[in-house]
């Protein structure tokens, strides 16, 4: 048996489900060999339907390379999606850097699957859960410090991808790309494994089993293949509605959002009542200084416009007392106005996300960094101000 035959044997499972023939191809998302085999199998077997591990939005982005031009960064901020978009871009950066290193487009096997399906006249089914739903389900199940750790892990991964060899790329056939990227975070946060892998295994299995036609070829990351095979059984019904629900924000988070501003106001009132006007005034200034300085530092770290830095310093002491508004939203909108992204910024996003420098250089991604770092600075300022204010009372 030659090497190519051996690769095919390891990648392909031939299954039957409810009278349907299913050819399940497990691939590495940045492997030239995977991309070649996918195209070859679809052309040879001429299936009725091809299912791909893409959601509708990712399929659209593959077909429309100019989709970035339609981004409205102001709406992203207003809809509180800045962090999710930044995470998505960092994940895209990781995959794109590895793919370019080995001279293959990111997700080339999916691109080949889409093209081959269209050539054969097969029905094309984007079988994965929407990436925003997946990331939101992860985000809502993490605490504040877990979120910070996740962001730094994503940033570090942007540099580590330069050190990966082609042999290690082939080893990625054993797990999902997200799983590989977030391996260190996943160890300390089991929810990552559940949302990124287990839930998507179920969702993919449901979409594949319900796809039309008698012969289906399903192209998925190899890390999902074992889970999909497990769930492709009549005795394991899958509720996809549950898997696509956006969980509400945690009750503890909602309580803290209102409790912390209430605590600050009570502390200030106690300062005036117990220690007099001078102490109460000192506490107010401590609050303003801690919030303003750290929010300003966050904006500076993001290389924000001077007007944006000023807005972060001015807004943070007030927004920290209002659970409905975040300092980062204010500074992000000011940055969007001060350095309004141009068409060239939107067009250069795919190139700029390949480096950390590019994230800070591009006017669109810099706005996202401004939102994230200003919010982080404001939070640190709040945590710093509370013990300082308590010292004034004591």
pLDDT per position as a tens digit, 113-125 = 999 999 999 999 9
Of 46-55, 87-96, 131-140, 343-352, which has the strongest mean pLDDT? 46-55
pLDDT at 9: 53
CA–CA separation, 87 and 385 (whole Å): 29
Percent of the chain residues past pLDDT 90, beyond the cut: 31
Q: If you average pLDDT over each of 26-35, 167-176, 310-319, 340-349, which comes out highest? A: 310-319
Segment among 195-199, 220-224, 244-248 with least mean pLDDT? 244-248
Which range is least confidently modeled, 66-75, 77-86, 120-129, 312-321? 66-75
218 and 236 Cβ atoms separated by less than 8 Å = no
Residue 298 or residue 105, greater confidence: 298
Which pairs count as long-range contacts for 379-384, CB under 8 Å and 24+ apart, including other chains? 379/144, 380/294, 381/290, 381/291, 381/292, 381/293, 381/294, 381/295, 381/316, 381/320, 382/260, 382/264, 382/290, 382/291, 382/320, 384/290, 384/294
Who's near 379: CB < 8 A, 6+ residues apart?
144
Residues 95, 106 contacting (CB under 8 angstroms): yes
Q: Looking at per-residue confidence, does 62 or 134 come out higher?
A: 134
Q: Burial level of 240, CB count in 10 A (0-12/13-18/19+)? A: middle
Long-range contacts of 80-86 (CB under 8 A, 24+ apart): 80/329, 81/132, 82/328, 82/332, 82/367, 82/368, 82/371, 82/372, 83/139, 83/147, 83/151, 83/368, 83/371, 83/372, 84/132, 84/135, 84/136, 84/139, 85/368, 86/151, 86/365, 86/368, 86/369, 86/372
Of residues 57 and 333, more confidence is placed in 333
More confident: 323 or 302? 302
The residue ranking higher by pLDDT, 305 or 260, is 305
Kindly tell me if the per-residue pLDDT of 69 is higher than 70.
Answer: no
* Of the candidate ranges 100-114, 166-180, 254-268, the one whose mean pLDDT is the lowest: 166-180
Task: Name the least confident of 162-171, 187-196, 268-277, 328-337.
Answer: 162-171
Local confidence band at 340 (pLDDT 50, 70, 90 cut-offs)? confident
Angle made by CA atoms 331, 333, 337, in degrees to the nearest 5: 115
Query: According to the model, what pLDDT value does residue 268 have?
Result: 87
pLDDT band at 366 (very low <50, low <70, confident <90, very high): very high
Residue 107 backbone zone (phi > 0: left; psi -120 to 50: alpha; other: beta): left
Task: With a cut of 90, say whether residue 298 has pLDDT above it.
Answer: yes
195/32: higher pLDDT? 195
Mean pLDDT value of segment 71-90: 77
Number of other CB atoms surrounding residue 212 within 10 Å: 10
Reported as a pLDDT band with limits 50, 70 and 90, residue 355 is confident
Instruction: Report the predicted TM-score, pTM, of the whole model to 2 decimal places.
Output: 0.70
Is pLDDT of 375 > 50?
A: yes
- Low-confidence winner among 64-78, 101-115, 129-143, 329-343 (lowest mean pLDDT): 64-78
pLDDT at res. 38: 92
pLDDT at 181 over 60: no
The predicted model gives 317-340 an average pLDDT of: 90
Question: Of the given ranges (19-33, 100-114, 227-241), which has the lowest mean pLDDT?
Answer: 100-114
């Amino acid at each position: 048996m030659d090497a190519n035959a051996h690769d095919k044997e390891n990648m392909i499972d031939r299954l039957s489900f409810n009278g349907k023939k299913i050819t399940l191809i497990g691939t590495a998302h940045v492997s030239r060999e995977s991309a070649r085999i996918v195209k070859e199998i679809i052309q040879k077997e001429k299936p009725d339907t091809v299912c791909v591990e893409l959601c509708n939005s990712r399929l659209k982005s593959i077909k429309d390379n100019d989709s970035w031009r339609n981004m409205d960064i102001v709406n992203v901020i207003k809809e509180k999606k800045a962090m999710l978009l930044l995470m998505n871009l960092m994940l895209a950066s990781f995959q794109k850097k590895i793919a370019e290193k080995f001279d293959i487009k990111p997700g080339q096997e999916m691109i080949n699957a889409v093209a081959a399906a269209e050539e054969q006249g097969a029905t094309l089914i984007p079988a994965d859960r929407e990436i925003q739903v997946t990331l939101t389900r992860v985000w809502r199940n993490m605490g504040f410090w877990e979120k910070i750790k996740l962001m730094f892990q994503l940033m570090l991964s942007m540099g580590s991808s330069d050190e990966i060899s082609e042999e290690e790329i082939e080893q990625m056939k054993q797990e999902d790309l997200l799983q590989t990227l977030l391996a260190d975070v996943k160890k300390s946060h089991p929810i990552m494994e559940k949302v990124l892998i287990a839930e998507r295994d179920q969702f993919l299995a449901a979409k594949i089993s319900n796809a039309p036609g008698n012969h289906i070829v399903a192209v998925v990351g190899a890390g999902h293949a074992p889970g999909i095979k497990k769930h492709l059984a009549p005795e394991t019904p899958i509720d996809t509605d549950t898997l696509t629900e956006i969980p509400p924000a945690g009750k503890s988070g909602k309580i803290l959002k209102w409790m912390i501003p209430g605590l600050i106001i009570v502390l200030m009132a106690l300062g005036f009542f117990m220690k007099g006007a001078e102490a109460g005034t000192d506490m107010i200034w401590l609050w303003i200084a801690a919030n303003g300085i750290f929010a300003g530092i966050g904006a500076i770290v993001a290389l924000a416009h001077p007007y944006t830095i000023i807005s972060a310093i001015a807004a943070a002491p007030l927004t920290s007392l209002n659970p409905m508004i975040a300092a980062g939203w204010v500074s992000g909108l000011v940055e969007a106005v001060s350095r309004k992204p141009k068409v060239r910024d939107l067009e250069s996003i795919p190139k700029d996300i390949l480096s950390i420098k590019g994230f800070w250089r591009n006017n669109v991604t810099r706005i996202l960094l401004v939102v994230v770092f200003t919010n982080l600075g404001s939070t640190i300022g709040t945590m710093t101000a509370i013990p300082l204010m308590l010292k004034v009372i004591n």
